[in-house]
Protein backbone atom coordinates (compact mmCIF):
# COMPACT_ATOMS: atom_id res chain seq x y z
CA UNK A 1 0.00 0.00 0.00
CA UNK A 2 1.23 3.49 -0.89
CA UNK A 3 0.42 5.64 2.13
CA UNK A 4 1.10 8.77 0.04
CA UNK A 5 -1.50 7.90 -2.60
CA UNK A 6 -4.53 10.16 -2.99
CA UNK A 7 -6.32 7.72 -5.31
CA UNK A 8 -10.07 8.09 -5.04
CA UNK A 9 -9.88 11.29 -2.96
CA UNK A 10 -11.67 14.53 -3.78
CA UNK A 11 -9.63 17.66 -3.09
CA UNK A 12 -10.85 21.26 -3.01
CA UNK A 13 -8.10 23.89 -3.20
CA UNK A 14 -9.27 27.48 -2.82
CA UNK A 15 -7.84 30.23 -5.01
CA UNK A 16 -6.01 27.63 -7.11
CA UNK A 17 -6.17 29.17 -10.59
CA UNK A 18 -2.41 29.85 -10.46
CA UNK A 19 0.59 30.06 -8.14
CA UNK A 20 0.95 27.99 -4.98
CA UNK A 21 -2.64 26.71 -5.08
CA UNK A 22 -2.21 25.51 -8.65
CA UNK A 23 1.06 23.75 -7.78
CA UNK A 24 -0.53 21.94 -4.84
CA UNK A 25 -3.64 20.94 -6.78
CA UNK A 26 -1.48 19.69 -9.67
CA UNK A 27 0.53 17.52 -7.28
CA UNK A 28 -2.69 16.10 -5.82
CA UNK A 29 -3.87 15.22 -9.32
CA UNK A 30 -0.64 13.31 -10.04
CA UNK A 31 -1.11 11.50 -6.70
CA UNK A 32 -4.56 10.38 -7.87
CA UNK A 33 -7.01 12.93 -6.48
CA UNK A 34 -9.95 14.54 -8.27
CA UNK A 35 -9.36 18.29 -8.28
CA UNK A 36 -11.87 21.03 -7.52
CA UNK A 37 -10.90 24.66 -7.17
CA UNK A 38 -12.55 28.03 -6.86
CA UNK A 39 -11.63 31.63 -7.47
CA UNK A 40 -13.22 35.00 -6.97
CA UNK A 41 -14.45 35.57 -10.55
CA UNK A 42 -15.16 33.74 -13.79
CA UNK A 43 -12.11 35.15 -15.56
CA UNK A 44 -9.73 33.61 -13.03
CA UNK A 45 -11.63 30.31 -13.03
CA UNK A 46 -11.36 30.15 -16.84
CA UNK A 47 -7.65 30.96 -16.61
CA UNK A 48 -7.26 28.10 -14.16
CA UNK A 49 -9.23 25.63 -16.27
CA UNK A 50 -6.98 26.38 -19.24
CA UNK A 51 -3.85 25.90 -17.13
CA UNK A 52 -5.04 22.56 -15.74
CA UNK A 53 -6.03 21.37 -19.21
CA UNK A 54 -2.58 22.30 -20.56
CA UNK A 55 -1.06 20.28 -17.70
CA UNK A 56 -3.20 17.29 -18.67
CA UNK A 57 -5.34 17.55 -15.53
CA UNK A 58 -9.13 17.35 -15.43
CA UNK A 59 -10.22 19.93 -12.88
CA UNK A 60 -13.58 21.32 -11.83
CA UNK A 61 -13.62 25.11 -11.40
CA UNK A 62 -16.18 27.23 -9.54
CA UNK A 63 -16.72 30.92 -8.88
CA UNK A 64 -17.00 31.45 -5.13
CA UNK A 65 -16.04 34.16 -2.65
CA UNK A 66 -14.59 32.34 0.39
CA UNK A 67 -15.78 35.16 2.67
CA UNK A 68 -19.41 34.72 1.61
CA UNK A 69 -20.98 32.04 3.79
CA UNK A 70 -23.99 31.57 1.52
CA UNK A 71 -21.82 31.11 -1.59
CA UNK A 72 -19.54 28.69 0.26
CA UNK A 73 -22.44 26.52 1.43
CA UNK A 74 -23.79 26.45 -2.12
CA UNK A 75 -20.34 25.51 -3.48
CA UNK A 76 -19.88 22.60 -1.06
CA UNK A 77 -23.43 21.36 -1.74
CA UNK A 78 -22.82 21.50 -5.50
CA UNK A 79 -19.50 19.63 -5.27
CA UNK A 80 -21.02 16.95 -3.02
CA UNK A 81 -23.95 16.54 -5.42
CA UNK A 82 -21.95 16.50 -8.65
CA UNK A 83 -18.63 14.91 -7.62
CA UNK A 84 -18.76 13.63 -4.05
CA UNK A 85 -17.84 14.44 -0.46
CA UNK A 86 -14.65 16.46 -0.11
CA UNK A 87 -11.82 14.47 1.50
CA UNK A 88 -9.18 17.21 1.37
CA UNK A 89 -9.65 20.97 1.78
CA UNK A 90 -6.72 23.32 1.20
CA UNK A 91 -7.41 26.86 2.37
CA UNK A 92 -5.05 28.64 -0.01
CA UNK A 93 -6.98 31.76 -1.07
CA UNK A 94 -5.44 34.89 0.42
CA UNK A 95 -4.26 38.43 -0.12
CA UNK A 96 -1.57 40.71 1.29
CA UNK A 97 -1.54 44.50 1.52
CA UNK A 98 1.92 45.96 2.13
CA UNK A 99 1.01 49.21 3.90
CA UNK A 100 2.61 50.72 7.01
CA UNK A 101 0.26 50.09 9.93
CA UNK A 102 -0.43 53.74 10.68
CA UNK A 103 -1.24 54.37 7.01
CA UNK A 104 -3.59 51.41 6.78
CA UNK A 105 -7.31 52.00 7.16
CA UNK A 106 -9.42 49.75 9.38
CA UNK A 107 -11.33 48.75 6.24
CA UNK A 108 -8.12 47.57 4.54
CA UNK A 109 -7.11 45.67 7.68
CA UNK A 110 -10.53 43.99 7.84
CA UNK A 111 -10.36 42.96 4.18
CA UNK A 112 -7.12 41.04 4.74
CA UNK A 113 -8.46 39.41 7.91
CA UNK A 114 -11.71 38.55 6.12
CA UNK A 115 -10.06 36.70 3.23
CA UNK A 116 -7.02 35.23 5.01
CA UNK A 117 -8.67 34.19 8.29
CA UNK A 118 -12.46 34.33 8.11
CA UNK A 119 -12.35 32.58 4.70
CA UNK A 120 -10.62 29.44 6.05
CA UNK A 121 -13.03 29.43 9.01
CA UNK A 122 -16.06 29.60 6.71
CA UNK A 123 -14.67 26.99 4.29
CA UNK A 124 -13.64 24.58 7.05
CA UNK A 125 -16.93 24.62 8.89
CA UNK A 126 -18.72 24.00 5.59
CA UNK A 127 -16.82 20.75 4.91
CA UNK A 128 -16.43 19.34 8.44
CA UNK A 129 -19.98 17.93 8.87
CA UNK A 130 -19.66 15.69 5.80
CA UNK A 131 -16.11 14.71 6.81
CA UNK A 132 -17.49 13.60 10.18
CA UNK A 133 -20.17 11.48 8.46
CA UNK A 134 -17.59 9.98 6.11
CA UNK A 135 -15.26 9.18 8.99
CA UNK A 136 -12.19 11.08 7.85
CA UNK A 137 -10.94 14.36 6.44
CA UNK A 138 -7.88 16.50 5.87
CA UNK A 139 -7.85 20.29 6.19
CA UNK A 140 -4.64 22.11 5.24
CA UNK A 141 -4.32 25.82 5.90
CA UNK A 142 -1.72 27.82 3.99
CA UNK A 143 -0.12 29.76 6.81
CA UNK A 144 3.10 31.76 6.50
CA UNK A 145 6.36 32.59 8.21
CA UNK A 146 4.30 35.60 9.28
CA UNK A 147 2.41 33.12 11.49
CA UNK A 148 5.57 33.38 13.64
CA UNK A 149 7.35 36.61 12.70
CA UNK A 150 6.46 40.24 12.15
CA UNK A 151 7.81 42.52 9.46
CA UNK A 152 7.32 46.10 8.34
CA UNK A 153 4.12 46.88 6.38
CA UNK A 154 2.36 43.52 6.90
CA UNK A 155 0.46 44.03 10.17
CA UNK A 156 -2.86 42.74 8.78
CA UNK A 157 -1.29 39.77 7.01
CA UNK A 158 0.73 38.75 10.08
CA UNK A 159 -2.33 39.10 12.30
CA UNK A 160 -4.38 36.96 9.91
CA UNK A 161 -1.72 34.28 9.47
CA UNK A 162 -1.04 34.16 13.21
CA UNK A 163 -4.76 33.69 13.71
CA UNK A 164 -4.82 31.01 11.03
CA UNK A 165 -2.11 29.09 12.88
CA UNK A 166 -4.28 29.05 16.00
CA UNK A 167 -7.45 28.22 14.02
CA UNK A 168 -5.51 25.23 12.66
CA UNK A 169 -4.66 24.06 16.18
CA UNK A 170 -8.23 24.58 17.34
CA UNK A 171 -9.81 22.62 14.47
CA UNK A 172 -7.37 19.79 15.29
CA UNK A 173 -8.37 19.98 18.96
CA UNK A 174 -12.10 20.09 18.30
CA UNK A 175 -12.45 17.52 15.52
CA UNK A 176 -9.46 15.19 15.88
CA UNK A 177 -11.67 12.57 17.54
CA UNK A 178 -13.62 12.31 14.26
CA UNK A 179 -10.44 11.32 12.36
CA UNK A 180 -10.10 14.79 10.89
CA UNK A 181 -6.56 16.14 10.70
CA UNK A 182 -6.04 19.87 10.35
CA UNK A 183 -2.50 21.06 9.71
CA UNK A 184 -0.83 24.07 8.15
CA UNK A 185 1.92 24.73 5.65
CA UNK A 186 4.02 27.84 6.21
CA UNK A 187 5.78 28.74 2.96
CA UNK A 188 8.96 30.77 3.07
CA UNK A 189 9.72 33.25 0.30
CA UNK A 190 8.51 31.56 -2.88
CA UNK A 191 9.44 32.54 -6.43
CA UNK A 192 6.09 33.30 -8.04
CA UNK A 193 4.93 35.94 -10.55
CA UNK A 194 3.89 38.12 -7.59
CA UNK A 195 7.43 38.16 -6.18
CA UNK A 196 9.17 38.48 -9.57
CA UNK A 197 9.75 42.26 -9.23
CA UNK A 198 11.67 41.58 -6.00
CA UNK A 199 14.04 39.25 -7.84
CA UNK A 200 14.72 41.38 -10.93
CA UNK A 201 18.32 42.21 -11.81
CA UNK A 202 18.95 45.93 -11.33
CA UNK A 203 20.07 48.24 -14.22
CA UNK A 204 23.65 48.07 -12.96
CA UNK A 205 23.59 44.26 -13.08
CA UNK A 206 23.30 43.78 -9.31
CA UNK A 207 20.63 41.76 -7.56
CA UNK A 208 17.57 43.49 -6.12
CA UNK A 209 18.33 44.44 -2.48
CA UNK A 210 15.37 42.36 -1.23
CA UNK A 211 16.58 39.37 -3.27
CA UNK A 212 20.01 39.68 -1.61
CA UNK A 213 18.34 40.01 1.79
CA UNK A 214 16.25 36.84 1.41
CA UNK A 215 19.11 34.73 0.08
CA UNK A 216 21.36 35.89 2.92
CA UNK A 217 18.68 34.95 5.46
CA UNK A 218 17.98 31.50 3.97
CA UNK A 219 20.32 28.60 4.78
CA UNK A 220 19.31 27.03 1.46
CA UNK A 221 20.64 30.25 -0.18
CA UNK A 222 17.76 30.47 -2.63
CA UNK A 223 14.09 31.32 -2.97
CA UNK A 224 11.65 28.46 -2.74
CA UNK A 225 9.55 27.33 -5.70
CA UNK A 226 5.89 26.31 -5.77
CA UNK A 227 7.16 22.77 -6.46
CA UNK A 228 8.94 22.79 -3.07
CA UNK A 229 5.50 22.83 -1.45
CA UNK A 230 4.13 19.83 -3.36
CA UNK A 231 5.70 17.03 -1.30
CA UNK A 232 4.71 18.53 2.07
CA UNK A 233 1.18 19.17 0.76
CA UNK A 234 0.84 15.54 -0.40
CA UNK A 235 2.13 14.30 2.97
CA UNK A 236 -0.45 16.34 4.91
CA UNK A 237 -3.27 15.24 2.57
CA UNK A 238 -2.41 11.54 2.63
CA UNK A 239 -2.71 8.64 5.06
CA UNK A 240 0.99 9.13 5.82
CA UNK A 241 -0.02 11.98 8.17
CA UNK A 242 -2.97 10.31 9.93
CA UNK A 243 -1.44 10.91 13.38
CA UNK A 244 -0.17 14.41 12.59
CA UNK A 245 -2.64 17.02 13.81
CA UNK A 246 -2.45 20.70 14.68
CA UNK A 247 1.05 21.00 13.22
CA UNK A 248 2.43 23.85 11.10
CA UNK A 249 5.01 22.56 8.63
CA UNK A 250 7.28 25.44 7.63
CA UNK A 251 8.73 25.04 4.15
CA UNK A 252 11.14 27.95 4.28
CA UNK A 253 14.62 26.69 3.45
CA UNK A 254 15.54 27.09 7.11
CA UNK A 255 14.85 30.81 7.61
CA UNK A 256 13.01 30.35 10.91
CA UNK A 257 15.92 28.28 12.28
CA UNK A 258 18.59 30.83 11.36
CA UNK A 259 19.71 34.03 13.05
CA UNK A 260 21.46 35.23 9.87
CA UNK A 261 25.02 36.03 8.91
CA UNK A 262 27.09 38.43 10.94
CA UNK A 263 27.29 41.81 9.12
Catalytic residues: 157
The β-bridge partners of 137 are 180
Phi then psi dihedrals of residue 188, to 5 deg: -80, -150
Which among 191, 185, 226 has a CA at the least distance from the CA of 27? Answer: 226
Q: What is the DSSP letter of 64?
A: -
Q: How far apart are CA 28 and CA 5, in angstroms?
A: 9
Q: Which residues contact 151 (CB under 8 A, 6 or more apart)?
A: 158
Residue 197: C-alpha distances to residues 100, 133, 202, 206, 207 (Å): 20, 46, 10, 14, 11
d(C-alpha 85, C-alpha 136), whole Å: 11
Beta bridge partners of 249: 185
Amino acid sequence: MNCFSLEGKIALVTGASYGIGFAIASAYAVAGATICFNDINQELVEKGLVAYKEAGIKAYGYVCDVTNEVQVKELITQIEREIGVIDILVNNAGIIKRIPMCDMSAEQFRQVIDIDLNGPFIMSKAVIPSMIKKGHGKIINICSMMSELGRETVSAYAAAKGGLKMLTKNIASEYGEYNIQCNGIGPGYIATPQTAPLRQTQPDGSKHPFDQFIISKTPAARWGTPEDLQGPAIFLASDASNFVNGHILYVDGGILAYIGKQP
